[in-house]
Amino acid sequence: MKVVTGVVGNDIHVVANRLIEISLKERGFTVFNLGVNTYLEEFLDAIVETDADVLLISSLNGEAEGWCRDLQILKKQYTFRKDVVFMIGGNLGVGEMDPDALVPKFKNYGFDLVFHQVDLNVGLDTLENYLKAHA
């Protein structure tokens, strides 16, 4: 399975990103890590180029919403497999947010799996289960 990952927008919080790369590899994924400070178009380009199964976006500094609200529109401009899993996690709000309000919002933007302030491994376990269920 191939995963494209990185941190969206002008966000430079790199620590989680480094750990995500390691963890994904350990779990047997092939990883394309675009690193911090990556724009949405770059992610979508990478899905096409690598024929990825999963896009795993991180966002920590509160910019997530600003960058992801146009995902649906952007998706339409690209052609890639229907079953690519869109996943986002990290700190998805500015200030202290109600996770119950954030998750549906990001699902509406076109993400299949959304994790606000959820531990990485919990997220990756969920991903693996999701992939199994949809295999």
For the CB of residue 79, give the shortest distance to other proteins in the complex, in Å. Answer: 28
Binding test (CB under 8 A) with other proteins, winner from 2, 27, 53, 61: 61
Annotated active-site residue 98? The verdict is no
For the CB of residue 10, give the shortest distance to ligand B12 in the complex, in Å. Answer: 5
Buried b (16+ CB within 10 A) or exposed e, 86-117: bbbbbbbbeeebeeeebbebbeebbbbbbbbe
> Of the residues 13, 45, 53, 112, which is catalytic?
13
Our finding on whether 37 is near other proteins (CB under 8 A) is yes
The closest alpha carbon to 66, from 5, 4, 10, 123, belongs to 10
Do residues 3 and 26 touch, judged by C-beta distance below 8 A?
Answer: no
Residues of this chain that interact with other proteins (CB under 8 A) are 10, 12, 14-15, 18-19, 22, 35-37, 61-62, 91, 93-97, 117
